[in-house]
Amino acid sequence: MMMNTKMMMGARYQVKTDKPNKLIYISFDELDDTTINYPPAKEKEDDCSPTTKLNEEDASCNDTEDTLDISTIQQSIPDSVLQYERQMRKIRAADRASKTNVNPEDHLHIIHKDDHIVVTNKPSGILCVPGVNKNRSLLDLVFEMNNGDEGEERSSEDKLAKDSMIVHRLDMDTSGIVIFARTRDAMSELHKAFRERTGTKKKYEALLVGRLDINKWIESQDDDHTNKVISDTTNLGGGEINLPLQRDHRHPPFMRVSTPESESEAQLAVKDLNSAGYKKLMAKKPKASTTQFRVLSHEHWRGHPVTRVELTPITGRKVRVRFFDNVL
């Protein structure tokens, strides 16, 4: 398999391309991958920023016109503004959850039910499980249905408590398949299957703003600009994103892509808190997170071009899908 590697946008990302199969692979350069243990980095020399790493042939401390450092753009927004926006999103979501009349007729769509499990098609706009405000959720509907079924002879020992029926969950604005357990044996087996990734596979569909053209992306990485990618409407391409994620120490409980700089800041923050008396606090190490994606179609939504992609989480953090949507 022929692959071409090139630094992306002059930043610490690198892109490998597989032209015959129309695939791209996005990751960090090994020196910037915080999941790999390296000796302490050397001090910066002169005014060269470590985030403007280019290929050797065009690397220069003074030649950074065409580089784009994503972290610099993010840091240009004041922390107070970012925190305010995050808090407002939480408030708006909580307000919607409290005002939604969650009822079986509109929100309980059962696609399979047997003695052991209930499989539902969760609509967007309702909670999968009650939040901190105990708003009504899909779990409430399933639990009420489970306890109210007539004609089923089940002992009280077989009936699960409401919280025990939870196997996995989806975000409030995400629609899709959700499985609930009806017995303890089913709960145990499903938890094991999801935990060990045996017999279960998650796939997500997302609409990305803009047109994600894999052909143009691959061609842009081709230094000699030979042999354009063959256009094929049946295969719009795809790829894999492999980036380390960590808890955002500035804005917990949110997550962020881990960089050498953010990891150093997190370690320093924990050290300061330990000195202030939080002796048991430990910084969690960044975790590798891999998601594969496939372009399904190019569409228009409300007059704007969008790209429908299928995402398959492979490893890592639970919020990686939203992160990697942003990367694309």
Say if residue 19 is in the same domain as residue 71.
yes
Say if residue 214 is in the same domain as residue 131.
no
pLDDT of res. 140: 94
Q: Check pLDDT > 80 for residue 228.
A: no
pLDDT of res. 48: 43
Q: What's the pTM value of the predicted model, to 2 decimals?
A: 0.67
CA distance 236 to 308: 11
Of 147, 178, 196, the last residue of a domain is: 196
Q: What are the tokens at 11?
A: 């930043």
**Over the stretch 293-322, which tens digit does the pLDDT of each residue have?**
999 999 999 999 999 999 998 875 555 566
Say if residue 295 is in the same domain as residue 181.
no
Q: For residues 24-49, give the mean pLDDT.
A: 63
Helix, coil or strand: residue 162: helix
Count of structural domains, the chain? 2
Q: Check pLDDT > 70 for residue 264.
A: yes
Helix, coil or strand: residue 196: helix
Say if residue 164 is in the same domain as residue 279.
no
Say if residue 93 is in the same domain as residue 61.
no
CA distance 266 to 149: 51
We report the CATH number of the domain holding residue 138 as: 3.30.2350.10
For residue 82, being part of any structural domain is answered with no
Active site residues: 171
Contact 314, 294 (CB under 8 A): no
Of 169, 196, 223, the last residue of a domain is: 196
- Residue of higher predicted confidence among 27 and 113: 113
Residue range(s) defining the domain that contains residue 269: 4-76+204-327
Nearest by Cα to 172 from 99, 249, 85, 247: 99
Local structure of residue 205 (DSSP, 8 states): E
Say if residue 67 is in the same domain as residue 211.
yes
For residue 83, being part of any structural domain is answered with no
Say if residue 311 is in the same domain as residue 276.
yes
Mean pLDDT of the chain: 76
Say if residue 19 is in the same domain as residue 160.
no
Confidence band of 108 (pLDDT split at 50, 70, 90): very high
Of 164, 196, 228, the last residue of a domain is: 196
Among 27-41, 63-77, 167-181, 280-294, the least confident range: 63-77
Say if residue 297 is in the same domain as residue 156.
no
**Over the stretch 141-154, which tens digit does the pLDDT of each residue have?**
999 998 876 555 55
pLDDT of res. 210: 93
**Over the stretch 48-77, which tens digit does the pLDDT of each residue have?**
444 333 344 443 434 434 434 444 444 455
Say if residue 30 is in the same domain as residue 105.
no
DSSP calls for 147-158:
HH-TT----TTT
CA distance 175 to 128: 10
For residue 81, being part of any structural domain is answered with no
**Over the stretch 174-224, which tens digit does the pLDDT of each residue have?**
999 999 999 999 999 999 998 888 888 889 999 999 999 998 888 887 665
DSSP calls for 75-110:
HTS-HHHHHHHHHHHHHHHHHHHHH----HHHH--E
Say if residue 213 is in the same domain as residue 291.
yes
Q: Strand 238-247 and strand 287-301: pairing?
A: antiparallel
